[in-house]
């Protein structure tokens, strides 16, 4: 006989419903990793990668007129994605902190949210530095 699959739900308690023969079962649900925290980390890593591309375009086109325009476009993308990663990370941290207080589904992934915030900020900073570097090298 094959054992039933485990779903992570455990029976916590059963309360009898007065006046009936039925009961109300309360289940303990296993913690779930926050999707916002995962999304924040993915966006933060993407921001770092795009900022490195912006830096490469800024350095490669130092003698061309298109360097500042392309680097500026990639920097704008870095700043938007970085701010999205930071926002999602902050919301994820709030979600994780409040989930333990309500007694319902418990979210985990605090480290992922913090890493997403850090990666988003670093990526946006690298993108802005790449734009500044491209502008300085193009004018000299």
71-114 tens-digit pLDDT: 889 999 999 999 999 999 999 999 999 887 755 678 899 999 99
pTM given for the model: 0.78
How far is Cα 53 from Cα 110, in angstroms, rounded to an integer? 29
32-70 tens-digit pLDDT: 899 999 999 999 999 999 999 888 887 776 666 777 788
Class of residue 78 by CB neighbours under 10 A (exposed 0-12, middle 13-18, buried 19+): buried
> With bands split at pLDDT 50, 70 and 90, how would you rate the model's confidence at 121?
very high
Q: Are the beta carbons of 55 and 128 closer than 8 angstroms?
A: no
pLDDT at position 114? 97
């Amino acid at each position: 006989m094959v054992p039933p699959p485990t779903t992570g739900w455990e029976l916590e308690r059963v309360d009898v419903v007065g006046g009936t023969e039925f009961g109300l079962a309360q289940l303990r649900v296993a913690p779930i990793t926050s999707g916002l925290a995962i999304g924040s980390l993915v966006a933060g890593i993407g921001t770092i990668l795009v900022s490195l591309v912006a830096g490469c375009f800024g350095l490669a086109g130092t003698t061309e007129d298109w360097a500042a325009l392309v680097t500026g476009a990639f920097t704008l993308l870095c700043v938007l994605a970085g701010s999205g990663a930071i926002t999602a990370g902050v919301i994820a941290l709030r979600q994780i902190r409040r989930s333990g207080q309500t007694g319902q589904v418990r979210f985990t992934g605090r480290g992922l949210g913090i890493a997403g915030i850090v990666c988003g900020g670093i990526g946006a900073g690298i993108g802005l530095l790449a734009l500044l570097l491209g502008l300085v090298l193009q004018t000299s």
